[in-house]
Chains A and B, each alone.
Chain A
Amino acid sequence: MAATLYTAWAVGGLTGVCRVNGHQQGPLHCHLKVLVAGLQTYEIPPDYSDVVLPAKPKLKFVNKVPNLKKPKREPKKLRDIQGPTRGADSFTQGQYGIVALGGGYLHWGHIEMMRLTINRKMDARTMFARWCISGPYKPITRKGLGQRMGGGKGAIDHYVTPVRYGRLIVEVGGKVELEEVKHILTEVAKKLPFPAQVVSRESLAALKKKHADMEQNNQNPWTFKQIVQGNMLGIRRVVSPFDVHHCGRFSGKFHFPGRV
């Protein structure tokens, strides 16, 4: 019993209170067994001293309707969904964000969902969020219920924001790591009308690099670009000019990640 008590004491208080045979005492010198507790290496937590939080960290309210004196009806122009983004595909202030992996229209309902979810779940003291898209500006018309074809274009029903593949929707930054923010952003990303993914600066760069590497180390001697630009086999008959420009990676609003 004395031995067990002694063992319990020894394991518990390894700094050694009583003198044991006049030996050296201290945290390094254990008289019973090898101390392995201190051998665990821990990662140094990141340094956030240079991160500045803005005065208003939460997402701003976005108007349902742009304030125009005379709203004009616009043609559908679905090509604002087609293909990759022409800009707004890189981070500016934040560290983590949601990137669109397809095309689609975001209407006020989606934007409100994002704003409410993110504002509710984020910690305003340590993180901030920023919109990367503008409010809805494209008018979408609808005819009344049960109307026959003809009789002119319908009246403006609501407004939407067109989003293309590769565009950032919302940015989050601050004194946080990805894991703290990921669950909030995935919740939002699942509810968007197009496929979306949570990215950080490094992961977005990695995505782009992956595509570049695929183009580099493609072992297939035949490429879409080569065949179509040379109009081999008269394939231009079935390939649209859009496909010629984008090398078969897009079809409508969809993006094919396996295509090179």
Chain B
Amino acid sequence: MQHWFYSTMTLQQDSIKTTVHVCSLTARLPAQTQSPAVSSGGRRSSECIIRAVVTSGITFFLSMMAATLCGKLLPKQGWLPVTQSVRHGSKAVTRHRKPIHILKQKLLAVTKYVPPTPVVPKGAYPSERQEVKEESGFVLLLKRELKKLFQDYKMVAVAQNCNSNAEDMRILKHRLHRHGIAVKFFPNQVMCSFLSDSVYSNMAPLFIGPTVLFVSKEPKVKEMLTSLRSSPQMTLLGACIDNTLLSAQGVVSYSKLPSVSVVQGELVSGLAMMTAHTASMLQRHPAHLSALLQQYVKQQSSEEAPKAEEAT
């Protein structure tokens, strides 16, 4: 018959498990029934102490443990497991964060989430896709106005106005209106977006800063320049006259050009000069004409004579 002996039992408050140290297992042989008084007394007293200490749950568990171990065949006689764990601590669901076993901590550290690193850091290069912003109705309206403007008006001049107050503006507008030149204001953003789509894309660099448009149906450049000379705030940047882009100097030289009618007149007169000259000569006195012809013949003969001399 075998008895379990439990000499000490320690309850560690910090640990989850309670370790029960089993010190000795003695196999009580029939020869040893009359054991010395001291040892039997010691045994009995220890049993009493332990019975007092052990709670109902633990005794139940220990008896179960005893039953299983006694039921199983022990590997060899006198063999006892050194420590046996009894779980009675916190449950799976606690209010506090439960301490994690070191091996599980290592597992969690190894299997952490690793985000993908971008090859190119954000913001290093500008995005390939251009954000297409939907234009509001007002912007579309302005663009339609601009389209009509470029169709109707032959001259579209761009100037920059710095610090012109209302009075100056009013006077300038009055002066220009007398020559049929209108003053228009358009936002630069709308202007640039319109120009980028249209034929006049090269005009886009002109529209920086506070700009004003001078438009007229007939290219009245001279009058415009005279009006602008009077107002020092306005600086002419460029113009688009008859679908030709001109810089400021180009506009000035354009203004110096004679008008179309004058040029046409000159051309016609140049072409008709010979015939007109002949006609005028014929209308003079015939004596004059005969004298001229005689002079011409003399010249011709004088030319032929040296040529014949040279030939011979």
Binding site for B on A (CB under 8 A): 2-3, 6-7, 10, 20-23, 28-36, 38-41, 78-79, 81-82, 103, 150, 214, 217-220, 222-224, 227-228, 233, 235, 237-240, 242, 248, 251-254, 258-260
| B101 within 8 A of partner (CB) | yes
Q: Looking at the assembled complex, report how far the CB atom of B150 sits from the nearest CB atom of chain A, in whole angstroms.
A: 16
The reply to whether B113 and A259 form a contact with Cβ atoms under 8 Å apart is yes
The reply to whether A239 and B93 form a contact with Cβ atoms under 8 Å apart is no
Q: Looking at the assembled complex, report how far the CB atom of A45 sits from the nearest CB atom of chain B, in whole angstroms.
A: 15
Q: Known contacts A34-B187, A252-B98; can you find 17 more A-B pairs with CB under 8 A?
A: A3-B167, A6-B167, A21-B177, A30-B185, A38-B138, A39-B138, A78-B93, A79-B92, A217-B116, A218-B113, A220-B112, A227-B110, A237-B103, A240-B92, A251-B100, A254-B97, A258-B112
The reply to whether B108 and A33 form a contact with Cβ atoms under 8 Å apart is no
With a cutoff of 8 Å between Cβ atoms, the chain B residues found around residue A220 in the complex are 111-114
Known: A3-B166, A39-B136, A218-B114. A23 touches B182 (CB 8 A): yes
The reply to whether A217 and B145 form a contact with Cβ atoms under 8 Å apart is no
With a cutoff of 8 Å between Cβ atoms, the chain A residues found around residue B174 in the complex are 21
| B94 within 8 A of partner (CB) | yes
Q: Mark B97-109, 1 if CB is under 8 A from A, else 0.
A: 1101101100110
With beta carbons under 8 angstroms apart, the residue of A36, A79, A103, A248 that contacts B111 is A248
The reply to whether A253 and B111 form a contact with Cβ atoms under 8 Å apart is no
Q: Which residue of B lies closest to A223 (CB)?
A: B111
Q: How far is the CA of A23 from the CA of B169 in the complex (A)?
A: 13
Q: Mark B107-149, 1 if CB is under 8 A from A, else 0.
A: 1101111111100000000000000011010110110010000
Q: Looking at the assembled complex, report how far the CB atom of B206 sits from the nearest CB atom of chain A, in whole angstroms.
A: 15
24 contacts between A and B (CB under 8 A): A3-B166, A6-B167, A6-B170, A21-B174, A30-B185, A34-B185, A34-B186, A38-B138, A39-B138, A39-B139, A39-B189, A40-B136, A41-B136, A78-B91, A81-B93, A150-B56, A219-B114, A227-B110, A238-B104, A240-B92, A248-B107, A252-B92, A252-B98, A253-B93
The reply to whether B108 and A238 form a contact with Cβ atoms under 8 Å apart is no
| B237 within 8 A of partner (CB) | no
The reply to whether A251 and B166 form a contact with Cβ atoms under 8 Å apart is no
With beta carbons under 8 angstroms apart, the residue of B101, B111, B210 that contacts A238 is B101
Interface residues of A, dominant DSSP: loop
The reply to whether A35 and B185 form a contact with Cβ atoms under 8 Å apart is yes
Smallest CB-CB A-B distances: 8 pairs? A78-B93, A38-B138, A219-B114, A220-B114, A238-B101, A224-B111, A3-B167, A252-B93
The reply to whether A23 and B93 form a contact with Cβ atoms under 8 Å apart is no
Q: Looking at the assembled complex, report how far the CB atom of B95 sits from the nearest CB atom of chain A, in whole angstroms.
A: 8
The reply to whether B92 and A242 form a contact with Cβ atoms under 8 Å apart is yes
The reply to whether A7 and B93 form a contact with Cβ atoms under 8 Å apart is no
| B246 within 8 A of partner (CB) | no
Known: A7-B165, A23-B182, A254-B97. A239 touches B187 (CB 8 A): no
The reply to whether B94 and A252 form a contact with Cβ atoms under 8 Å apart is yes
With a cutoff of 8 Å between Cβ atoms, the chain B residues found around residue A38 in the complex are 136, 138
| B21 within 8 A of partner (CB) | no
Q: Which residue of B lies closest to A150 (CB)?
A: B56
| B183 within 8 A of partner (CB) | yes
Q: Looking at the assembled complex, report how far the CB atom of A169 sits from the nearest CB atom of chain B, in whole angstroms.
A: 19
With a cutoff of 8 Å between Cβ atoms, the chain B residues found around residue A103 in the complex are 93
Known: A7-B166, A21-B173. A227 touches B113 (CB 8 A): no
Q: Which residue of A lies closest to B141 (CB)?
A: A28
Q: Which residue of B lies closest to A215 (CB)?
A: B113
Q: Which residue of B lies closest to A8 (CB)?
A: B166
Q: How far is the CA of A252 from the CA of B173 in the complex (A)?
A: 81
Q: How far is the CA of A240 from the CA of B97 in the complex (A)?
A: 16
Q: Looking at the assembled complex, report how far the CB atom of B133 sits from the nearest CB atom of chain A, in whole angstroms.
A: 8
Known: A218-B114, A238-B104. A251 touches B136 (CB 8 A): no
Q: How far is the CA of A38 from the CA of B136 in the complex (A)?
A: 9
Q: How far is the CA of A219 from the CA of B117 in the complex (A)?
A: 9
Q: Mark B169-194, 1 if CB is under 8 A from A, else 0.
A: 11001100100001111110110000
With a cutoff of 8 Å between Cβ atoms, the chain B residues found around residue A30 in the complex are 185
Q: Looking at the assembled complex, report how far the CB atom of B68 sits from the nearest CB atom of chain A, in whole angstroms.
A: 21
Q: Which residue of B lies closest to A81 (CB)?
A: B93
With a cutoff of 8 Å between Cβ atoms, the chain A residues found around residue B141 in the complex are 28
